[in-house]
Copies of this chain bind each other. A is one copy, B any other.
Amino acid sequence: MSLTKIKRANQMTEQIHYHLSNLSLFQACDSVFIRELARNGHLLCMQKGQLIFGRGESANRFFACLSGTIKLFRETSGGVQAVVDIIHAGQILGESSIFHTHIYPVSAECIEKTDLISLPLALLEDRMRQDTALAFAVMRMMANQQRQQDHEIENRTLKNAPQRIACFLLGLIDRNKTGRITIDLPYEKSVIAARLGMQPETFSRALQTLKRDLNLDIAGTRITIKDIQNMAAYTCNACSSEFPCA
């Protein structure tokens, strides 16, 4: 490598190191490990629609989402998708393939411009074997995802479309806010619809129902909720957990 190339590589490593040290998952990890990760990390800038990995592909890298949004989904041979989760900045993805014989168990696609760091699974796996705190952090993460999935199954079983939307909106609310609240939908309505297991048309109509029943103000992608308690009653009565249900 030329001197300028080395310099640029070092800068890149610095940048990656900075981002990694901000991830909650690595909070308890020592700087040596994070530095090693950084040296082996690639910065990826992906566009809306780009596939990060596909279900069934062999996996030797996992990813940290720095900015943007990613949908995790399963897809039939006919091309129909079931969205399983949505990943935001600060979260990681692909790590669970460690436990699936290094095969990605779902597909991941960017649903807007997204910055990622690609990292070797082997480093994480090795480190987890040595560092109990890291292993437990991963387990805590997995356990939380599991609880979320349980909640999702409950939602699909017990709630109708407007209630599922209301539940989703409540999840977007900053915990310690109160009174009148305005929300900007974090991504396309059709994606939210898929995430909630309904068609875009149903989403649109269900949102109208919600507007009528709960007296919401809706302007395009911006929604104002006047009475949160009312909304919580509307959806949480059909659910095992109460607002705020994280």
Contacts and interface: CB of A to CB of B under 8 A. Distances in A.
Contacts of A158: 76, 80, 82
A239 B80 CA distance: 9
A21 interface: no
Interface residues of A, number: 45
A197 interface: yes
A123 interface: no
A156 B156 contact: yes
B139 A99 contact: yes
Interface string A149-186: 11111101110000000000000000000000000000
A194 to B, nearest CB: 9
Interface stretch (A12-20, A62-70, A140-148, A221-229): A140-148
Contacts of A150: 74, 84, 105-106, 149
A220 interface: no
A4 interface: no
Contact of A74 (B135, B146, B240): B240
Given A74-B240, A147-B105, A237-B78, A84 B154 contact: yes
A145 B96 CA distance: 11
A55 interface: yes
A241 B104 CA distance: 13
A100 B147 contact: yes
Interface in A119-142: 128-130, 132, 135-136, 138-140, 142
B237 A76 contact: yes
A152 B150 CA distance: 10
Nearest to A80: B158
9 contacts: A74-B151, A76-B158, A76-B238, A82-B154, A84-B150, A96-B146, A98-B143, A106-B150, A156-B197
Interface of A: 55, 74-78, 80, 82, 84, 96, 98-100, 105-106, 128-130, 132, 135-136, 138-140, 142-147, 149-154, 156-158, 197, 237-241
